[in-house]
């Protein structure tokens, strides 16, 4: 037997050791590693929510497993501030993922869980729900740790993959197999099958499999929502007033303000290297006994916030935060409007950066976001109304207590993406092609945050890259999007950095879905090991049977519907809700008659302030138009639905009582006549502060007589 021991020596020694290991394994020689070497059936790298679900599933199937996490915490974004679950259609969340949310519900059913408010004061706690979808970060991590402990999973924290060239040993066979991974501390872990559950895809990259970073062109996969999107600047997260981009206003020679890319800019629909922006999902508190002031970073630079201040001064008085309440007076705070928590354009090197470079990028993001919050709360150029709104907020004192009350996980919305046996695209999300071998389902919007700030041809700053388009219902995620190409690695699965296009990943990348895919990947890993198969050869019928047995949801009926009122037969310019851009978890329904198209959307009378629908209407000629909206009236509808119309002279907001039967043919209500310019004009419906179910159906524009 060949005996091999790793020690902390020079890099040449490490390279030689891994080369010797790779030569030994194909011929049956079993190396040993000394005191720190460990062998497991399955090695899971990355303690994200997907990694936790994967490790639990391996343990349930009776195999040994180690969960290796580079940081000091498990759970990733789920325990790192993202308490407002981006779930889409909750009916397709099954297995260990749903177990986790059910455990959260059991936690909040205990009186002791409510330290700063009572459950009846929290609108999203419903006694008849089986699960809890909004939660505090520390509770999420506690529940995940308890689930791992129950299954006696070995969890190792603060162990980072050695990315210096000696981190992965692979056979020279065809197809190659991973044999072991090594961490920077010198520990080595052998396994039969490996799972990369990191947000960055570090293990798959070290294994040499094909991956992609950035946006593909629309042409590459025949998509419509990928690539550069300057022409689609009709979203909410943009500048809605004219803001000068130059250090000295009106003087291009003075240079661009911080965060604005210099020309030339890529063409629309083209590929580029840019990633959608990152931020931290802050947990704030409005409870004085549990609130600490927003810190002013030591390296605070007012110039970083000049765009924010100019935007306020130009008249955009929106509070640029999306504040969703969690239990006990806490929040999940996200990006919103033109200048907010997303640090646009500052993360493009993150995916393939060294650990040191990533740490610098993370520090810069934290400094920017902390400075943003301090500025909005304190700076004299911030409108008094904004400072007043900010005065009730601070960081939650009982969260992230080992991290200065700041989230321990940055929101890596995308980094590397596998290019595997099957690439998920917009066509899969829209269910316009048959997706093979379903191992889970997604349903959330195809969601990309902004990727770039640029100067428009008219000389003002604008954001680019934000896309929010509903897939139209749940869709299948293929098993073959979790595995590399056969010739590249035969015992590696990737349930987080899945094989998908940029815009498809924008929908898949939700924490409940990652947990679903982590469990499915772990199930396939055990089946591959038990049957001595490459992961690409796991028989789908057997995999499907086990996944269904374990509570996974693999299909969901999306029946074709016949239009009640065919929008194509209506006069004027008509856009139905299925063509509009929906933000949040709208639900389709056809239960009340009188709607346009095959269905209408409603907000389930929940998540108030978080849901909106934007009708981006292409107006052929500048002129005056009557604006009509349709809805289905009912006694449970809201009486105060806000409808915002963007006009040449500013925004107009109308309020609609949807309990009243529409006056025009029982379907339409007129909002009056408005002047529109040629091109895209936007009418938006939201559920902010509404007192019942909000309906979004169709919008019609008729030339004024």
**Count of structural domains within the chain:** 2
CB contact set of 380 (below 8 Å; sequence gap of 6+): none
Per-residue DSSP letter, 661:
P
Domain annotation covers residue 308: no
CB contact set of 81 (below 8 Å; sequence gap of 6+): 137, 280, 281, 282, 283, 332, 407, 409, 411
pLDDT score at 223: 96
577 and 495 within one domain = no
599 and 512 within one domain = no
Domain annotation covers residue 688: yes
657 and 604 within one domain = yes
196 and 75 within one domain = yes
DSSP E strands in 162-223: the ranges are: 168-170, 178-182, 188-196, 211-213
Domain annotation covers residue 275: no
pLDDT score at 562: 65
519 and 660 within one domain = no
575 and 535 within one domain = no
Which residue, 501, 522, 549, sits at the end of a domain?
549
pLDDT score at 6: 25
Domain annotation covers residue 7: no
**Angle at CA of residue 635, ends 583 and 702, nearest 5°:** 55
Q: Is the sign of the CA dihedral 699, 700, 701, 704 positive or negative?
A: negative
The neighbouring-strand residues paired with 613 are: 582, 685
Per-residue DSSP letter, 26:
G
CB contact set of 476 (below 8 Å; sequence gap of 6+): 428, 431, 435, 438, 440, 441, 554, 555
191 and 64 within one domain = yes
Q: Assess contact for 475 and 92: CB atoms under 8 A.
A: no
The pair of structure tokens assigned to 134 is: 């909004």
C-alpha span between 371 and 365 (Å, rounded): 10
- Please return the burial class of 303, using the count of CB atoms within 10 Å of its CB with bins 0-12, 13-18 and 19+: exposed
| Rounded CA Rg of the chain | 26
DSSP 245-312: -EEETTEEEEEEPTTPPPSP-PPTT--BS--PPP---B-EE--GGGEEPPPPPTT--GGGGHHHHHHH
pLDDT score at 236: 75
638 and 539 within one domain = no
Pick from 210, 81, 104: which is nearest to 483 by CA? 210
The neighbouring-strand residues paired with 170 are: 178
Domain annotation covers residue 330: no
593 and 531 within one domain = no
In the sheet that holds 695-696, the strands lie side by side as 587-589, 600-602, 695-696
CATH number for the domain harbouring residue 522: 3.50.50.60
Give me the phi and psi of 239, to 5 degrees please.
Answer: -80, 125
Q: Assess contact for 558 and 431: CB atoms under 8 A.
A: yes
Which residue, 506, 522, 549, sits at the end of a domain?
549
- Domain span holding position 75: 40-213+485-549
Which segments of the chain have a pLDDT < 50?
Answer: 1-35
C-alpha span between 375 and 389 (Å, rounded): 13
673 and 613 within one domain = yes
Pick from 427, 444, 448: which is nearest to 586 by CA? 444
Domain annotation covers residue 70: yes
CATH number for the domain harbouring residue 682: 2.60.120.260
pLDDT score at 7: 28
Give me the phi and psi of 523, to 5 degrees please.
Answer: -60, -45
Q: Assess contact for 176 and 169: CB atoms under 8 A.
A: no
C-alpha span between 661 and 669 (Å, rounded): 9
C-alpha span between 211 and 501 (Å, rounded): 11
Ramachandran area for residue 607 (φ above 0: left; ψ -120 to 50: alpha; else beta): left
C-alpha span between 371 and 304 (Å, rounded): 9
The pair of structure tokens assigned to 127 is: 């006694």
pLDDT score at 9: 30
Q: Assess contact for 630 and 641: CB atoms under 8 A.
A: no
Per-residue DSSP letter, 185:
T
Residue 213, CA distances (Å) to 171, 210, 289, 411, 557 in order:
27, 10, 44, 16, 33
The pair of structure tokens assigned to 591 is: 């239960």
615 and 511 within one domain = no
pLDDT score at 25: 41
Which residue, 493, 522, 549, sits at the end of a domain?
549
Domain annotation covers residue 116: yes
Domain annotation covers residue 628: yes
Q: Which residue has the tokens 């010198």?
A: 186
User: How would you classify the pairing of strands 38-45 and 65-69?
Assistant: parallel
614 and 669 within one domain = yes
DSSP E strands in 402-535: the ranges are: 416-418, 438-442, 446-448, 452-455, 461-464, 467-469, 475-478, 492-493
In the sheet that holds 699-703, the strands lie side by side as 573-575, 699-703, 623-630, 668-676
H helix runs in 379-501, sequence order = 384-390, 426-429
- Please return the burial class of 364, using the count of CB atoms within 10 Å of its CB with bins 0-12, 13-18 and 19+: middle
Upstream peptide bond of 178 is cis (omega within 30 degrees of 0):
no
Ramachandran area for residue 435 (φ above 0: left; ψ -120 to 50: alpha; else beta): beta
């Amino acid at each position: 037997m060949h005996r091999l021991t790793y020690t902390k020596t020079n890099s040449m020694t490490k390279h030689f050791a891994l080369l010797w290991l790779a030569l030994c394994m194909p011929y049956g020689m079993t190396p040993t590693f000394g005191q720190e070497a460990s062998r497991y059936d399955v090695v899971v790298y990355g303690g994200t929510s997907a990694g936790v679900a994967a490790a639990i599933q391996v343990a349930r199937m009776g195999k040994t497993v180690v969960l290796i996490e580079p940081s000091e915490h498990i759970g990733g974004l789920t325990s790192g501030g993202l308490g407002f679950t981006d779930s889409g259609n909750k009916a397709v969340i099954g297995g260990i993922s749903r177990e986790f949310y059910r455990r959260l519900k059991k936690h909040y059913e205990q009186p002791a869980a409510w330290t700063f408010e009572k459950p009846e004061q929290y609108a999203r706690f419903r006694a008849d729900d089986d699960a809890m979808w909004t939660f505090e970060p520390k509770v999420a991590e506690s529940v995940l740790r308890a689930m791992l402990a129950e299954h006696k999973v070995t969890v190792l924290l603060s162990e980072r993959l050695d990315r210096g060239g000696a981190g992965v040993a692979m056979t020279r066979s065809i197809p190659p197999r991973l044999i072991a991974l090594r961490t920077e501390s010198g520990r080595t872990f052998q396994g039969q099958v490996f799972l990369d559950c990191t947000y960055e895809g570090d293990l798959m990259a070290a294994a040499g499999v094909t991956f992609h970073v950035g946006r593909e062109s629309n042409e590459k996969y025949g998509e419509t929502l990928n690539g550069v999107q300057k022409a689609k600047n009709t979203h909410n997260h943009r500048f809605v007033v004219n803001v000068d981009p130059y250090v000295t206003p009106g003087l291009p020679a003075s240079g661009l303000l911080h965060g604005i890319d210099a020309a030339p800019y890529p063409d629309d629909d083209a590929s580029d290297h840019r990633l959608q922006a990152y931020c931290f999902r802050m947990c704030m508190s409005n409870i004085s006994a549990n609130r600490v002031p927003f810190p002013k970073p030591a390296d605070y630079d007012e110039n970083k916030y000049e765009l924010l201040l100019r935007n306020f001064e130009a008249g955009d008085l929106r509070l640029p935060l999306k504040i969703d309440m969690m239990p006990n007076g806490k929040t999940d705070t996200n990006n919103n409007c033109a200048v907010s928590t997303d640090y646009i354009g500052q993360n493009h090197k993150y995916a393939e950066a060294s650990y040191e470079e990533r740490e610098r990028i993370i520090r810069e993001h934290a400094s920017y976001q902390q400075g943003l919050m301090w500025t909005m709360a304190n700076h004299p150029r911030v409108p008094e109304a904004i400072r007043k709104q900010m005065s009730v907020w601070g960081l939650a004192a009982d969260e992230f207590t080992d991290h200065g009350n700041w989230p321990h996980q940055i929101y890596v919305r995308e980094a590397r993406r596998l290019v595997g046996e099957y690439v998920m695209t917009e066509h899969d999300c829209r269910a316009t092609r048959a997706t093979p071998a379903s191992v889970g389902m997604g349903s959330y919007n195809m969601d990309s945050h902004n990727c770039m700030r640029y100067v428009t041809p008219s000389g003002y700053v604008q954001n680019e890259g934000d896309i929010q388009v509903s897939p139209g219902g749940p869709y299948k995620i293929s098993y073959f999007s979790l595995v590399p190409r056969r010739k590249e690695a035969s015992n590696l699965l990737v349930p987080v950095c899945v094989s998908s296009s940029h815009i498809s990943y924008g929908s898949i990348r939700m924490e409940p879905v990652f947990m679903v895919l982590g469990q499915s990947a772990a199930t396939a890993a055990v089946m591959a090991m038990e049957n001595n198969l490459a992961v690409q050869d796991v028989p789908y019928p057997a995999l499907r049977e086990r996944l269904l047995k374990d509570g996974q949801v693999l299909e969901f009926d999306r029946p074709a519907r016949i239009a009640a009122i065919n929008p194509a037969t209506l006069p004027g310019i008509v856009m139905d809700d299925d063509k509009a851009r929906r933000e949040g978890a709208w639900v389709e329904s056809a239960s009340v008659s009188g709607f346009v198209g095959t269905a209408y959307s409603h907000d389930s009378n929940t998540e108030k302030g978080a849901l909106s629908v934007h009708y981006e209407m292409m107006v052929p000629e500048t002129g005056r138009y009557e604006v009509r909206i349709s809805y289905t009236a009912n006694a449970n509808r809201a009486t105060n639905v806000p409808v915002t119309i963007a006009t040449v002279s500013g925004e107009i907001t109308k309020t609609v009582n949807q309990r009243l039967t529409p006056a025009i043919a029982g379907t339409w209500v007129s909002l009056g006549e408005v002047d529109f310019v040629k091109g895209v004009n936007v009418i938006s419906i939201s559920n902010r502060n509404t007192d019942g179910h909000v309906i979004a159906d169709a919008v019609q524009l008729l030339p004024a007589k």
